[in-house]
């Protein structure tokens, strides 16, 4: 008789073997396919981490393992365990089901609608019920029974509940009892380690007082989790909290560039935000970091055929219905930042978080970090940033992907000057990065000449190839092919139409099979690059980026010089500009480059982001051509 599989050896949602992801707040392990659906739900529904390729605090992973092995999944599938459910035809997904719609519909019902959880008897006063549940949670966390506490939290118990008679919170109780896994669970559900009880003591104080030193150290880490995660994202290091170092502020390699007046004004507005609005912005950026890191892990762990399916891309943060539509729009537009811009926003948030915690006054001296952002505003305006993103979710006001003709610098300046008191911080357009790239164009050109295929040398250059040619990068003469090479990086973010002025738009698209074949080649090369990044083989970056560029150029050459479809033009722009940007980033790993020392972790993060943008654009082109060719 075969040994029964432990719950951790099968996917919680479809019972497939060897799940490689965890849903931290649900206490379950899930397979790749089910994880693709979890990612599209948003972190407020499911917080996913890869079991091997994501760094884990040991006790956090232990908490999830303990929950899953003790039947946490039965909380979310309570009514499905009733024999009557089987009779009525209600069942959970199985490994053979299609992701869409079968697995996706089941997972949304299970976690988003909570369709199968145990329902409490209806009462007139919901607040009394929540209070009763919270009191039960308060007394349960002193024990090791995690599953009971997760059940209470799933029913509405509050992790930060302040017990009126006891004068403390559940986290105080768990810390006093040395229950480190209960503390992990409470923190996942929002418990604050800095909360004081009626005696003015924090959970950290009680853990230290009880000799629970590992718990005390972990609670301090949880307290600084947001800023620690942002710093680790950029430089791969965390502060040394044991020795009183609570912040790391990474430096941009090219921070010597002059700040524009717009960037300075935006930084000032960030600093002038109320603590509440600043915390909201920081949490939104944290969620965007999580989305980008999860996407990078996803790309590194999937095979290249899977990369072009509908299940793989989460192009921006999903809508959180608890947030205003203004905040949701701002959160989604964070996905528009390229790696350099986003890194700079993260650095500015880290700098200001440290200043606020230490109570330092605003600095009037020279800023050492740029705030380089595009518009996240509370207005229904659209940007002139190049059209490299799909439509936003239903919350957003952008109605099509051809955005660049509808905004102007005047509009952006107006939104910059608008009052921020009632919405997220308004942030800036592109920094002018052209100057930083001009110096590297000659070397990149030499690399590309060495790697181009013969057929590319014998055929006219594609208008979507962003590789610099021999044209002087500062040449502003109209109608020259070299013009696009430098214009891509101009400060206003717009990408000019590079087709010859007399070329008529062409509706003809290549066959879906050809596009898929080229896409698979691109994504296979991307996987090599991501493996090199994972294994810290930085000397492989440049040859990998060359192969990616060749594959991108071949794919772009399949399409007409001037496609009729705006979405095709948009995706081609993203594809080719990202390939060019990837080479510029990889080039920074060369030894002996002038300027400040290279922060290899920051370069790697930007390389991963560029690779993701290329894979995303290729996937969009597959989707578009499939749709058009089937019509």
Buried b (16+ CB within 10 A) or exposed e, 41-63: bbbbbbbbbbbebeeeeeebbeb
Runs of H (alpha helix) within 108-169: 126-140, 146-155
**Contact between residue 14 and residue 110 where contact means Cβ atoms under 8 Å apart:** no
**Contact between residue 457 and residue 465 where contact means Cβ atoms under 8 Å apart:** no
Instruction: For 397-410, write each residue's pLDDT tens digit.
Output: 333 322 222 233 33
Contacts of residue 556, Cβ cutoff 8 Å, sequence gap at least 6: 462, 464, 465, 572, 575, 576
Mean pLDDT value of segment 168-182: 98
Quick check: 270 pLDDT over 50? yes
Cα–Cα nearest to 7, from 57, 55, 56, 70 = 70
Strand partners, 30: 21
Encoded tokens for 411: 């509009």
**Contact between residue 261 and residue 321 where contact means Cβ atoms under 8 Å apart:** no
Residue that is written with structure tokens 């959160």 in the block: 331
**What pLDDT is stored for residue 565 in this prediction?**
83
**What pLDDT is stored for residue 362 in this prediction?**
67
**Contact between residue 80 and residue 12 where contact means Cβ atoms under 8 Å apart:** no
CA distance 490 to 454: 31
pLDDT bracket for residue 256 (50, 70, 90) = very low
CB-facing half-sphere around the CA of 588: CA atoms within 13 A: 22
Instruction: For 116-140, write each residue's pLDDT tens digit.
Output: 998 777 665 666 688 999 999 999 9
Encoded tokens for 465: 């190839």
Residue 435: which H helix or E strand, with range?
helix 434-438
288 vs 569, residue with greater confidence: 288
Q: What is the DSSP string of 306-331?
A: GGGSTTS---SPPP-TTS-HHHHHHH
pLDDT bracket for residue 461 (50, 70, 90) = very low
Question: Mapping DSSP to helix (H, G, I), strand (E, B) and coil, where does residue 21 land?
Answer: strand
Quick check: 271 pLDDT over 80? yes
Quick check: 262 pLDDT over 90? no
pLDDT bracket for residue 569 (50, 70, 90) = confident
CA distance 532 to 617: 22
384 vs 15, residue with greater confidence: 15
Mean pLDDT value of segment 344-367: 78
Please report, to the nearest 10 degrees, the dihedral formed by the alpha carbons of residues 299, 24, 7, 153 taken in order: -150
**What pLDDT is stored for residue 433 in this prediction?**
31
CA 512 to chain centre: 29
**Contact between residue 20 and residue 52 where contact means Cβ atoms under 8 Å apart:** yes
Torsion 122-124-127-129 (CA) sign: negative
Mean pLDDT value of segment 207-227: 97
Contacts of residue 42, Cβ cutoff 8 Å, sequence gap at least 6: 317, 318, 319, 320
**Contact between residue 346 and residue 233 where contact means Cβ atoms under 8 Å apart:** yes
Judged by average pLDDT, the poorest of 254-263, 538-547, 619-628 is: 254-263
Domains (range + CATH), the chain = 7-112 (1.10.220.150), 127-243 (1.25.40.20), 261-357 (no CATH), 512-630 (1.20.120.330)
CA distance 564 to 251: 43
Question: Mapping DSSP to helix (H, G, I), strand (E, B) and coil, where does residue 26 land?
Answer: helix
459 DSSP assignment: S
pLDDT more than 90, % of the chain: 41
Instruction: For 62-92, write each residue's pLDDT tens digit.
Output: 999 999 999 999 999 998 887 776 656 577 8
Cα–Cα nearest to 50, from 295, 319, 335 = 295
Quick check: 572 pLDDT over 70? yes
**What pLDDT is stored for residue 455 in this prediction?**
34
Contacts of residue 363, Cβ cutoff 8 Å, sequence gap at least 6: 355
**What pLDDT is stored for residue 371 in this prediction?**
33
Most confident of 350-354, 362-366, 434-438: 350-354
Judged by average pLDDT, the poorest of 175-184, 185-194, 421-430, 620-629 is: 421-430
CB-facing half-sphere around the CA of 450: CA atoms within 13 A: 11
Instruction: For 309-325, write each residue's pLDDT tens digit.
Output: 555 568 899 999 999 99
CA distance 24 to 60: 8
Quick check: 206 pLDDT over 80? yes
Instruction: For 235-252, write each residue's pLDDT tens digit.
Output: 889 999 999 999 999 887
**What pLDDT is stored for residue 241 in this prediction?**
95
Mean pLDDT value of segment 12-17: 95
Quick check: 389 pLDDT over 50? no
Instruction: For 479-520, write each residue's pLDDT tens digit.
Output: 333 222 222 222 223 333 334 445 566 778 888 888 888 888
CA distance 225 to 291: 16
CA distance 310 to 619: 8
């Amino acid at each position: 008789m075969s040994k029964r599989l432990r719950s951790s050896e099968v996917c919680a949602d479809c019972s497939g073997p060897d799940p490689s992801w965890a849903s931290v707040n649900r206490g379950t392990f899930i397979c790749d396919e089910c994880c693709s659906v979890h990612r599209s739900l948003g972190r407020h529904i499911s917080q996913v981490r890869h079991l091997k390729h994501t760094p884990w605090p040991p006790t956090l992973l232990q908490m999830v393992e303990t929950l899953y092995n003790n039947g946490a999944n039965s909380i979310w599938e309570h009514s499905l365990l009733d024999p009557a459910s089987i009779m009525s035809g209600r069942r959970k997904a199985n490994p053979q089901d299609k992701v869409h719609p079968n697995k996706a519909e089941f997972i949304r019902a299970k976690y988003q609608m909570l369709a199968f959880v145990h329902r409490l008897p209806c009462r007139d006063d919901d607040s009394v019920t929540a209070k009763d549940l919270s009191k039960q949670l308060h007394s349960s966390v002193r024990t090791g029974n995690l599953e009971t506490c997760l059940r209470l939290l799933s029913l509405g118990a509050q992790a930060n509940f302040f017990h009126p008679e006891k004068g403390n919170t559940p986290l105080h109780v768990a810390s006093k009892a040395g229950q480190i896994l209960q503390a992990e669970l409470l923190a996942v559900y929002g418990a604050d380690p800095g909360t004081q009880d009626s005696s003015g003591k924090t959970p950290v104080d009680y853990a230290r007082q009880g000799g629970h030193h590992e718990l005390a150290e972990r609670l301090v880490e949880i307290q600084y989790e947001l800023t620690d995660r942002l710093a680790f994202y950029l430089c791969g290091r965390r502060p040394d909290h044991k020795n009183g170092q609570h912040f790391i502020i990474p430096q941009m390699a090219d921070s010597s560039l002059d700040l524009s007046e717009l960037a300075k004004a935006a930084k000032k507005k960030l600093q002038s935000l109320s603590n509440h609005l600043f915390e909201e912005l920081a949490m939104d950026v944290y969620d965007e970091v999580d989305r980008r890191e999860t996407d990078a892990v996803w790309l590194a762990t999937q095979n290249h055929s899977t990369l072009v399916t509908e299940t793989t891309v989460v192009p921006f943060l999903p809508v959180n219905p608890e947030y205003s539509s203004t905040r949701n729009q701002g959160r989604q537009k964070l996905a528009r930042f390229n790696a350099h811009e986003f890194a700079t926003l993260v650095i500015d948030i880290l700098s200001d978080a440290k200043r606020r915690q230490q109570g330092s006054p605003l600095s009037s001296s020279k800023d050492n970090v740029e705030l380089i952002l595009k518009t996240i505003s509370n207005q229904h305006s659209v940007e002139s940033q190049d059209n490299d993103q799909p439509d936003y979710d239903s919350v957003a006001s952008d109605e099509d992907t051809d955005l660049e003709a509808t905004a102007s610098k005047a509009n952006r300046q107006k939104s910059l000057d608008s009052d921020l008191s009632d919405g997220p911080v308004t942030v800036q357009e592109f920094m002018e990065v052209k100057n930083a790239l001009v110096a590297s164009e000659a070397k990149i050109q030499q690399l590309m000449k060495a790697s181009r295929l013969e057929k590319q040398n014998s055929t006219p250059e594609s208008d979507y190839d962003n590789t610099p040619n021999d044209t002087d990068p500062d040449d502003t003469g109209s109608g020259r092919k070299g013009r696009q090479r430098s214009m891509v990086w101009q400060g206003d973010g717009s990408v000019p139409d590079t087709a010859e002025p007399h070329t008529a738009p062409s509706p003809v698209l290549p066959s879906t099979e050809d596009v898929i074949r080229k896409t698979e080649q691109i994504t296979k090369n991307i996987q090599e690059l991501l493996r090199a990044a994972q294994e810290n083989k930085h000397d492989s970056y440049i040859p990998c980026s060359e192969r990616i560029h060749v594959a991108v150029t071949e794919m772009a050459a399949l399409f007409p010089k001037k496609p009729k479809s705006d979405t095709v033009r948009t995706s081609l722009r993203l594809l080719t500009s990202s390939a060019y940007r990837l080479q510029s980033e990889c080039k920074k790993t060369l030894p002996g480059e002038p300027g400040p020392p290279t922060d290899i972790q920051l370069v790697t993060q930007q390389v991963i982001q560029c690779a993701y943008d290329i894979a995303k654009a290729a996937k969009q082109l597959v989707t578009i051509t499939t749709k058009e060719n089937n019509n």
